[in-house]
Each structure stands twice: as C-alpha cells, then as structure tokens.
Amino acid sequence: MATRLYTHPIFLEHLTPPGHPERPDRLRAIERVLDDEAFSALDRVKAPEGDEKTIL
C-alpha cells in the first residue's frame, strides 16, 4: 500500500509569526528531502481546494 502525500503550492503562502513551526521555509526543506529517490514510491497528489461547506 502506497503512502499518499497531499500538497499544493498555496501551502507556501501560509505566513505565520517568526519562530512559528508552520512556515514556508520548513515546508520547502521537507519537500527537498521528499524529492530524494528514497521517497519515489510516495503517491503525490495535488490537494484539492476546499469549498466553504467543506471547511466550516
């Protein structure tokens, strides 16, 4: 069974205060690691955009 990875470029636009763990640089670092051949089996999926009904 493959591991599915949901991601979307919009995630890099999520800005938080300095020092907060949810920041674009951290996500970029994770993406660089996951680009390694060791993670080629990941099922990469572009995350769908949620509508108001879904997210509320």
Q: 1-47: per-residue pLDDT in tens? A: 889 999 999 999 988 998 888 889 999 999 999 999 999 999 999 99
CB 34 within 8 A of CB 42: yes
> What confidence score (pLDDT) does residue 1 get?
85
Residue 45 is predicted with a pLDDT of 96
- Residue 48: the pLDDT is 92
pLDDT at 18: 87
Phi, psi of 31 (to 5 degrees): -60, -40
For the chain, which residues make up each domain, given as ranges? 1-13+21-46
55 pLDDT exceeds 90?
no
